[in-house]
Chain A
Amino acid sequence: MKLKYLLTLVTCLTALPLAAQVNAEVDLLKQQLQTVKDAFEKAQAESRRQIEELTKRLDAVAQQQSATTNEQQKWRDWMNSPVTPGRTPPPGERTWSAADPIRLAGGGAASYLNISFAALVAAGGSTAKNIEALQLGGHDPKQRGFTVQNLELTLDGKVDPYFRGQANIILQIDSAGETVIEAEEAFLETVSLPWNLQVKAGQFFTEFGRLNSMHPHTWDFVDQPLINGRFLGGDGLRNPGVRLSWLVPTPFYSELFLAVQNSQGETATSFRNDHEGEPFLGRLHDSGSVKAFNDMLFAPRYVASFNLSDAQTLMVGASAAFGPNGSGPRADTQIYGLDFFWKWKPAHQHGGFPFVTWQTELMMRRYQAGAFTEDLDGDGTLGATDADLNGDGLLNSVPREMLTDYGVYSQIAYGFQKGWVAGLRADFVTRSRRAAYEAVYGNDPDRDQRWRISPNLTWYPSEFSKVRLQYNYDRRSHIGADHSIWLQFEFLLGAHAAHKF
């Protein structure tokens, strides 16, 4: 009996904690269930939200699609509508009006005024004592260290239904650190005259040869060819005037130009230029004034082009420029030029590469120089009002004489892979014979024989920038050989004007 009690007691005692344990487990399970339930509800809410969002997106897509379909339907209707004169324009067209905001570099259809800016800077040096005398071009690097060659602001656009206008304003920092402004070009050009004619009027580069009318940032070399510098001038041949051109109705392209421009000033260096009071070709010059129509500068040019094959294009031209010069009365200058440009660009080109161009220009200048005497006041003695050009204390005089000079440059550029161009240029310029004034004053470096070889390498990271390294080997008769090395940088901002061929 006692045993029975004891057993019950023991059982009860053991059962008590057991019951407690079961209760705890149930609580735990309940808790877990709640957690699961919460998570489940949360997940459900999340997926509901996602579904809603997706439905919304689907609706949007469907709407868009139906809009596209509507648009397509409109198109289909338009295309199936009878093709007759005066048919309505296709749907979805938005015409722009002059009231729209002016876009300077037209991203859309509007284009009133294109603005672009080109900066050309060079750095380097030369063994020549006087680099200014070595480098003939007005925009050539001319000092050891840095040269800001050309900061060019170009504005162009259609003026009205009849004209296209263009202006190139140049800023330059000269060797004294002074900023110089040049109104290089500012002209208007007709767009559709009858009989294949075109008129250009204003301030412009004379279409003489190939390089003269090209702006320095489009050149293949750092500096100007010697013949251009000697005969057409450091800043090129350009002046206010008017030019007529006729697209000749030949089966191939050919065009005839005739320019009539002012013949005076430093931008017409071989013509009525006073050379700022400095002697030129052994004489002091006076630019004089225009007395008759033939005191103007006349520049005819004929150019023709032929496609030699699918990949080869040839362009040949003949130019001339006639006008009076400042060396005396009845003193005229004639410049003749021939130019030749050949380009090979294969049918499979990538970014405009590879290509080979070969450009050659020949020029001859006949300069009728007037008689000149240092005895300016005509009293027979050297006085304060006379000019002792060579400082020999004597009154020298030189006769009227014809000075004939000629020269050539030839250059090859090889674009061997996209962005990379290797170039080689050879320059030669000389006088036909030693002039009478040179017997008095000595050999004139402006006429003496000279040649130059210039290899270079250019890298164009894009069409809007370039880096160019050039070496010049220069040999001037009676002066000697010189070596120059120039590194040139360029960047372009704004509308990049399309290249002419």
Chain B
Amino acid sequence: MKAKLFISLALGLTHAAVAAAKLNVVATFPDFGVIAQAVGGDNIKITTLARGTEDPHFVDARPSFIRVLNQADVLLEGGAELEVGWLPPLLTGARNAKILIDGPGRVVMSRGIRLLGLPTGPIDRSMGDVHPAGNPHYWLDPANGKIMAGQLAEVFSRLDAANADAYRANLKKFSDRLDQKIADWTKALEPYRGVKVVTYHKSYEYFAERFGLSVVGQIEPKPGIEPSPTHITALIPRMKLEGVKLLLIEPNRPRRTPDYVAKATGARLLLLPDKVGAHEKVTDYIGLFDYDVAQIVAALKESK
């Protein structure tokens, strides 16, 4: 009886040890989490902090995040000042050396990615929330997904060398699939190359660059500044003149002004998920683009 108890206890402990051996990965946003899941597979455990429906610049530093970060082996952050408004105090509270700025588990996802919208002249706050490091919405170019996955495979292999082969295989699988899908998406949007769009915030610059949409303006007069009547009355005739077909907004944006602009210009208003989880149907990285591309194609077909 005692032996049995001992064995089950030992088994329980080994089980716990195996479970603990899984890399505990915390992602600030679901997009980083789903890519990490694709690369890490069963060898990692993912926890995501912010939700896909949230304005990424204004996430609450919920105290529960401190607890999660305290336990993390790896932290995936967007970088480029994406989380500057809420992550720093959480990290001080988390007191976890692994994920400090030079910690082995600190991963800045923008690493190696060419950021758009790098300010070329002097900037100050009268220009709104201009990001000195460049536009941080870079995950909306699927090609950047490959760069992110590449870095994750490297980090996971370094921290968990025993499973390096699995990470490499997963990376290849993910990259190949993404290559195939990028070709499909590009083909689907090929007939609409150069189509003019207006967005709410500069969130879709990377998506537009990848698929040849031409972003001609924003509902916001300046990044992070609420639309003003002056800006909107100037935007409407410009959109008509340019023949803007689509008005793209993130699902979390208020609808009143975009609805008004769409009605006044005849542009089609599209709620386009900008992150995984921004729409219930968008649950993984490839699904994000599947959904967005299908939405745009359907809208443009209709407007023809």
Q: Which residues of A contact B (CB under 8 A)?
A: 71, 75, 78-79, 82-87, 90-93, 107-108, 158, 164, 189-193, 196-198, 247, 250-253, 255, 303, 305-307, 310, 313, 315, 343, 345, 347-352, 417-419, 462-464, 496-501
Q: Which chain A residues border B253 with CB–CB below 8 Å?
A: 350
Does A108 lie within 8 Å of B132, measured CB to CB?
Answer: yes
**Cβ of B203 to closest chain A Cβ, rounded Å:** 12
Q: How far is the CA of A315 from the CA of B64 in the complex (A)?
A: 10
Question: What would 13 more interface pairs be, CB under 8 Å, given A192-B95, A345-B60, A348-B252?
Answer: A71-B114, A85-B158, A87-B154, A87-B157, A90-B151, A196-B70, A253-B63, A348-B53, A351-B57, A351-B58, A419-B226, A462-B128, A500-B89
| Contact A253 to B66, CB < 8 A, known contacts A79-B175, A192-B95 | yes
Contacts of A251 in B (CB 8 A): 67
Q: How far is A82 from B158 in the complex, measured between Cα atoms in Å?
A: 12
Contact A501:B62 (CB < 8 A) given known A83-B164, A198-B95, A247-B95: yes
Contact A191:B168 (CB < 8 A) given known A351-B55, A462-B225: no
Complex contact B62–A313 (CB within 8 A): yes
Give the complex CA separation of A82 and B89 in angstroms: 37
CB distance from A108 to the nearest CB of B (A): 7
* Beta-carbon contact of A83 and B167 below 8 Å: yes
From the candidates B51, B151, B167, name the one contacting A347 in the complex (CB within 8 A).
B51
- On whether the beta carbons of A107 and B161 are closer than 8 Å, the reply is no
> Interface digits, B149-188 against A, CB 8 Å rule (1 contact, 0 not)?
0110110011001001001100100010000000000000
Q: Kindly state the separation between the CA atoms of A108 and B253 in the bound complex, as whole angstroms.
A: 29
Q: List, in ascending order, chain B residues with CB within 8 A of A464's CB.
A: 125
Residues in B whose Cβ lies below 8 Å from that of A255: 66, 93
A197 x B164 contact (CB < 8 A): no
* Residues of chain A within 8 A of B54, CB atoms compared: 347-349
Out of B55, B62, B97, B157, name the residue touching A192 (CB < 8 Å). B97
Q: Can you name the residue of chain A whose Cβ is closest to the Cβ of B83?
A: A498
Q: What bracket does the count of chain B residues touching chain A fall in? A: 35 or more
Inter-chain contacts of B153 with A (CB < 8 A): 83
Asked if A247 and B70 make an inter-chain contact with CB atoms under 8 angstroms apart, the answer reads: yes
Classify the secondary structure of A's interface with B.
loop
Give B167's nearest chain A residue, CB to CB.
Answer: A83
Contact A418 B53 (CB under 8 A): no
CA distance A83 to B171 in the complex (A): 10
Q: Would you call B237 an interface residue if the criterion is a C-beta within 8 Å of the partner chain's C-beta atoms? A: no
B interface with A by C-beta (< 8 Å)? 51, 53-55, 57-58, 60-64, 66-67, 70, 84-89, 92-97, 100-101, 111-112, 114, 125, 128, 132-133, 146-147, 150-151, 153-154, 157-158, 161, 164, 167-168, 171, 175, 224-226, 251-254
Residues A343 and B64 in contact, CB atoms below 8 Å apart: no
| In contact, A418 and B92 (Cβ under 8 angstroms) | no
Please report the C-alpha to C-alpha distance between residue A253 and residue B88 in the assembled complex, in whole angstroms: 17
When distances are taken between beta carbons in the complex, the residues of chain B under 8 Å from A79 are 146-147, 150, 171, 175
B92 touches A189 (CB 8 A): yes
Top 4 closest A-B pairs, CB basis?
A107-B132, A352-B58, A305-B63, A192-B97
A191 in contact with B132 given A79-B175, A82-B168, A501-B63 (CB within 8 Å): no
What residues of A have a CB within 8 angstroms of the CB of B53 in the complex?
Answer: 347-349
Residue of A nearest to B51 (CB): A347
Tell me if B175 and A83 are in contact (CB < 8 A). no
Known: A498-B85, A499-B89. A193 touches B95 (CB 8 A): yes
CB distance B58 to A349 under 8 Å?
yes
8 pairs across A/B with beta carbons < 8 Å? A192-B97, A247-B95, A253-B63, A253-B64, A347-B51, A352-B58, A498-B89, A499-B89
Q: How far is the CB of B143 from chain A (nearest CB, A)?
A: 9
Q: Is the CB of A349 within 8 A of B70?
A: no
Assess the B60–A343 pair: CB atoms within 8 A: yes
* Distance, CA A88 to CA B37, complexed state (A): 24
Bound complex: CA of A349 vs CA of B57, how far in Å? 10
Q: When the two chains form their complex, are residues B55 and A350 in contact, meaning their CB atoms are under 8 A apart?
A: yes
Are B224 and A350 within 8 A (Cβ)?
no
CB atoms of B62 and A307 under 8 A apart: yes
A481 to chain B, nearest CB (A): 38
User: Given A307-B62, A310-B51, A349-B252, are A107 and B133 neighbors across the interface (CB < 8 Å)?
Assistant: yes
Contacts of B133 in A (CB 8 A): 107-108
Query: Which residue of chain B has the shortest Cβ distance to A76 in the bound complex?
Result: B146
* Closest chain A CB from B149 CB (angstroms): 8
Among B67, B167, B251, residue most surrounded by chain A Cβ atoms (within 10 Å): B67
Contact call A83/B157, Cβ cutoff below 8 A: yes
Residues of chain A within 8 A (CB-CB) of B175 are: 79
Assess whether B86 is in contact with A85, with CB atoms less than 8 Å apart: no
Kindly provide the distance from the CB of B199 to the nearest chain A CB, expressed in whole angstroms.
Answer: 14
Measured CB to CB, the closest approach of chain A to B272, in angstroms, equals 14
Q: Is the CB of A90 within 8 A of B111?
A: yes
Task: With CB as the reference atom, state the residue of chain B lying closest to A343.
Answer: B60
Which residues of chain A are near B60, meaning CB under 8 Å?
313, 343, 345, 352, 501
- The CA-CA distance from A79 to B100 in the complex, in Å, is 26
Given A78-B150, A192-B96, A351-B224, the answer on whether A247 and B66 have CB atoms closer than 8 Å is yes
Residues of B within 8 A of A347 (CB): 51, 53-54
Contact (Cβ within 8 A) B85 A85? no
Query: Do the beta carbons of B224 and A462 come within 8 Å of each other?
Result: yes
Bound form: Cα–Cα A348–B249 in Å: 13
Q: Which residues of B contact A348 (CB under 8 A)?
A: 53-54, 251-252
> Which residues of A sit under 8 angstroms from B58, Cβ to Cβ?
349, 351-352
Nearest CB in chain A: distance from B24 CB, A: 14
Q: Is the CB of B63 within 8 A of A197?
A: no
CB-CB nearest in chain A for B151: A90
Instruction: List residues of chain B with CB within 8 A of the CB of A349.
Output: 53-55, 58, 252
* Cα A164 to Cα B147 with chains together (Å): 33
Residues of A within 8 A of B62 (CB): 305, 307, 313, 501
Min CB–CB distance B49 → chain A (angstroms): 11
- By beta carbon, the residue of chain A nearest B65 is A253
Chain B residues near A343 (CB-CB < 8 A): 60
Q: Which residue of A lies closest to B153 (CB)?
A: A83
* In-complex Cβ contact of B67 among A192, A252, A313, A500 (8 A): A252
| Complex interface: chain A residues within 8 A of B125 (CB) | 462, 464
Please indicate the chain B residues that have their CB under 8 angstroms from the CB of A418 in the complex: 226, 254
* Given contact pairs A79-B146, A349-B55, A418-B226, A307 touches B64 in the complex (Cβ within 8 A): yes
Which chain A residue lies CB-closest to B156?
A83
Residue of B with least CB distance to A78 = B150
Chain B residues lying within 8 Å of A498, measured Cβ to Cβ, are 61, 84-89
A92 to B146, CA, bound (A): 16
